[in-house]
């Protein structure tokens, strides 16, 4: 009844059973329930979820399995990545996140025939505890991250058994597009991935993407904290839809209606008016746009900055671009493994940037596009294809994947954008681009209630709806500027990926609300 988890002989099995009952119960029940017909009462079954006392074991990590550990007996908890039985032997690959190691269960002194059979029947993706000897190998194991050692398994327990039929195979999910097509090997389409995200997130590529994303947030905050910024928390449920109420989600709020914030901008600006001087926030942003493109989500993570300046809004541009540069450097220096892991599946050129960051004026950008044959008016907005083309032209000319386009036409920006004092057709506003795609939109804001009122009227915005916003500037407001960065876009473009859903753990778009 306990073929698994015990050394070769039956007496040892019994001994182990007797002295380590709760461990066995905990670890084996799920498996036993499949292998033999045993009824467990509730109290006994619950034992599987807690050891009565902690066993005297240290679990090692797969990434630490190196030749220095050779000939040691170790304990390991890992997933069964693959399993291949071959006569009296069973080869397992055991995986922890992006690391894996080969393990051998072979009939002999240490393992019975039954145990090999048991090991061979463990379903892929099950979680197991193994006791094993670490052995150096003569030939590198190319298919594993731990190439110099393998494990000779002496005991194996199933901690959590996976269902036999997986909705997708991890090896298919990391296969580069087109590779192995002639052998009829599958890749996994995006909807299958997203529908089964719990499994798709286990791939080396996903693990790398989201560890890097965690790094982007940390670098963003650490850089700004060092610059004296204060982190703020802004509400997501708001009473009035700013900017005329387009593209906003409505929420039932007790007996009334409310909206989901399209950006934290109003609140960041209120913090500036409240003397916080330099603020940032990281949080969800909601856009009810029915856009089904590679770069639009209905909910994404905004990395937002707002800052009072002394004399010129370029002080703020410099703070933001320097923050981006610190992020790029931090990723380059601390996330090489992750970048290379992603590149294996999705090859791309390393991300290039300049110090200081290139800043072009809008008119310069338009001139470059015209030179390349694009016909557009001085005050026309940039179309997405023209943004991408301009990105390529800038890359050719300046060898950078990151730049700022400054001084947008006033007409294409929101009402709260400060006009250019030297030319009323333009504005003190800017976008920032990575690999030709917009990742930040920002501006100096109108900080004067009277001018703000005029600008809102010009845009035919109902003043009643933005009264509290305008009132925020009536009691002394410093000149200020800021911007909002899309986290998923930064990760997508830094890694050279092609869909923002690859860098959103649980993406939301007009057609997807699950998982």
280: Cβ contacts below 8 Å, ≥ 6 apart: 220, 221, 224, 229, 230, 231, 232, 303, 304, 305, 306
Mark out the alpha helices in 204-286 (DSSP H runs).
Answer: 204-226, 265-273
Cα angle: 32, vertex 34, 36; to 5 degrees: 60
Q: Is 289 a catalytic residue?
A: yes
Query: From CA 407, how far away is CA 490, in angstroms rounded?
Result: 22
In whole angstroms, the minimum distance from the beta carbon of 11 to its own copies comes to: 27
By CB under 8 A, the residues from 51 to 70 that bind its own copies are 51-52, 54-55, 59
Q: Which of 419, 442, 482, 486 binds its own copies (CB under 8 A)?
A: 419
Q: Is 287 assigned a catalytic role?
A: yes
Report if residue 515 touches its own copies, rule: CB under 8 A. Answer: yes
Give the CA distances from residue 452 to residues 407, 433, 443, 461, in Å, rounded to whole numbers and listed in that order: 19, 28, 14, 11
The CB-of-45 to its own copies minimum distance in angstroms stands at 7
**What single-letter DSSP state applies at residue 130?**
E
**223 is a contact residue toward its own copies (CB under 8 A):** no
Q: How far is CA 401 from the centre of its chain?
A: 21
The CB-of-286 to its own copies minimum distance in angstroms stands at: 7
Given 72, 250, 336, 383, the residue binding its own copies (CB under 8 A): 250
Q: How many whole angstroms separate alpha carbon 252 and alpha carbon 250?
A: 7
Q: Return d(Cα 320, Cα 322) in angstroms, integer.
A: 5
Question: Which listed range, 2-10, 355-363, 384-392, 470-478, lies at the site for its own copies (CB under 8 A)?
Answer: 470-478
Query: What radius of gyration, in Å, describes the C-alpha atoms of the chain?
Result: 29
Residue 409: strand pairing partners: 426
Q: Which is nearer to its own copies, 14 or 246 (CB)?
A: 246
501 is a site residue for its own copies (CB under 8 A): no
User: Tell me, what DSSP letter sits at residue 414?
Assistant: -
Which of these, 459, 405, 448, 460, lies nearest to 428 by C-alpha position?
405
How many angstroms from the chain centroid is the CA of residue 119?
A: 34
Q: Rule CB under 8 A: say whether 19 interacts with its own copies.
A: no
Q: Is 298 in the site for its own copies (CB under 8 A)?
A: yes
Catalytic residue check, 197: no
Structure tokens at 118: 């048991």
Which of 70, 74, 107, 127 is in the footprint of its own copies by CB under 8 A? 127
Angle between helices 204-226 and 336-345 (to 10 degrees): 140
> Is the bond into 515 cis (omega within 30 degrees of 0)?
yes
SS3 406: strand
Q: Among 11, 37, 43, 460, which residue sits at the site for its own copies (rule: CB under 8 A)?
A: 43
Q: Which of residues 362-401 bind its own copies (CB under 8 A)?
A: none
Q: What part of residues 69-88 is at the interface with its own copies (CB under 8 A)?
A: 77, 79
Q: How many residues bind its own copies (CB under 8 A)?
A: 114
The verdict on 274 binding its own copies (CB under 8 A) reads: yes
Which span sits near its own copies by CB under 8 A: 136-144, 243-251, 317-325, 361-369?
243-251
Which of 36, 230, 246, 411 binds its own copies (CB under 8 A)? It is 230
Phi, psi of 37, rounded to the nearest 5 degrees: -90, 95
Q: Is there binding between residue 36 and its own copies (CB under 8 A)?
A: no
Q: Identify whether 489 is a catalytic site residue.
A: yes
Among 284, 347, 350, 385, contact with its own copies (rule: CB under 8 A):
284
Closest separation in Å from C-beta 99 to its own copies: 11
Task: Give least dist CB 346 to its own copies, A.
Answer: 19
Residues of this chain, 166-185, that bind its own copies according to CB under 8 A: 166
Least Å from the CB of residue 411 to its own copies: 14
Residue (70 or 288) nearer to its own copies, CB: 288
**Phi, psi dihedrals of residue 80, rounded to the nearest 5°:** -80, 110
**Least Cβ distance, residue 89 to its own copies (angstroms):** 23
Q: Does 444 bind its own copies (CB under 8 A)?
A: yes
Stretch that binds its own copies, among 100-108, 174-182, 233-241, 396-404 (CB under 8 A): 233-241
CB-based contacts of 270: which residues, under 8 Å, 6+ apart? 472
- Residue 163 DSSP label: P
By C-beta, is 62 or 105 nearer to its own copies?
Answer: 62
Query: Which one of residues 126, 262, 323, 502 is an interface residue with its own copies (CB under 8 A)?
Result: 126
Q: Is 16 exposed, middle or buried (0-12, 13-18, 19+ CB in 10 A)?
A: middle
For position 191 contacting its own copies by CB under 8 A, the verdict is: no
Residue 210 C-beta: closest distance to its own copies, Å: 7
Catalytic residues: 287, 289, 295-296, 438, 441, 489
């Amino acid at each position: 009844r306990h073929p698994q988890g015990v050394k070769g002989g039956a007496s040892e099995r019994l001994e182990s059973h007797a002295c380590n009952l709760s461990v066995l119960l905990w670890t084996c029940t799920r498996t036993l329930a499949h292998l033999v017909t045993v009824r467990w009462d509730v109290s006994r079954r619950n034992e599987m979820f807690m050891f009565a006392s902690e066993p005297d074991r240290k679990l090692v990590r797969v990434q630490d399995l190196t030749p220095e550990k050779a000939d040691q007996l170790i304990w390991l908890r890992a997933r069964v990545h693959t399993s291949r039985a071959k006569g009296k032997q069973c080869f397992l690959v055991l995986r922890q996140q992006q690391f894996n190691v080969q393990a051998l269960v072979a009939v002999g002194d240490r393992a019975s025939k039954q145990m090999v059979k048991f090991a061979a029947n463990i379903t892929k993706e099950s979680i197991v505890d193994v006791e094993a000897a670490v052995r150096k190998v003569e030939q590198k194991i190319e298919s594993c991250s731990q190439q110099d050692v393998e494990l000779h398994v002496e005991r194996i327990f199933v901690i959590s058994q996976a269902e036999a039929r997986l909705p997708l195979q991890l090896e298919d999910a990391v296969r580069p597009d087109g590779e192995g097509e002639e052998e009829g090997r599958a890749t996994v389409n995006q909807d299958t991935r997203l529908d089964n995200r719990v499994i798709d997130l286990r791939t080396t590529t996903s693990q790398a993407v989201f560890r890097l994303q965690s790094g982007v947030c940390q670098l963003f905050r650490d850089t700004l904290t060092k610059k004296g910024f204060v982190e703020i928390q802004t509400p997501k449920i708001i009473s009035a839809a700013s900017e005329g109420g387009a593209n906003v989600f409505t929420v039932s709020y007790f007996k009334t209606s409310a909206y989901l914030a399209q950006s934290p901008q109003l609140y960041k600006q209120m913090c500036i008016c409240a003397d916080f001087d330099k603020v940032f926030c990281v949080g969800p942003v909601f856009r009810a746009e029915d856009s089904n493109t590679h770069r639009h989500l209905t909910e994404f993570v905004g990395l937002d900055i707002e800052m009072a300046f002394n004399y010129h809004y370029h002080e703020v541009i410099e703070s933001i671009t320097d923050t981006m540069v610190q992020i790029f450097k931090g990723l380059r220096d601390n996330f090489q493994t992750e970048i290379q892991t992603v590149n294996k599946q999705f090859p791309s050129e390393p991300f290039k940037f300049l110090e200081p960051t290139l800043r072009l004026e809008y008119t310069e950008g338009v001139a470059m596009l015209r030179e390349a044959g694009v016909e557009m008016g001085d005050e026309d907005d940039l179309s997405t294809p023209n943004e991408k083309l301009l990105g390529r032209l800038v890359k050719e000319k300046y060898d950078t994947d990151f730049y700022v386009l400054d001084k947008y036409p006033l007409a294409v920006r929101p009402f709260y954008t400060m006009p250019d004092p030297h030319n009323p057709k333009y504005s003190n506003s800017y976008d920032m681009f990575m690999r030709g795609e917009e990742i930040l939109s920002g501006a100096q804001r109108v900080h004067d209630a009277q001018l703000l009122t005029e600008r809102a009227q010009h845009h035919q915005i109902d003043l009643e709806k933005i009264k509290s916003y305008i009132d925020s500037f009536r009691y002394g407001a410093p000149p200020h500027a800021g911007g909002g960065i899309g986290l998923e876009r930064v990760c997508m473009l830094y890694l050279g990926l092609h869909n923002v859903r690859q860098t959103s753990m649980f993406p939301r778009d007009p057609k997807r609300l699950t998982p």
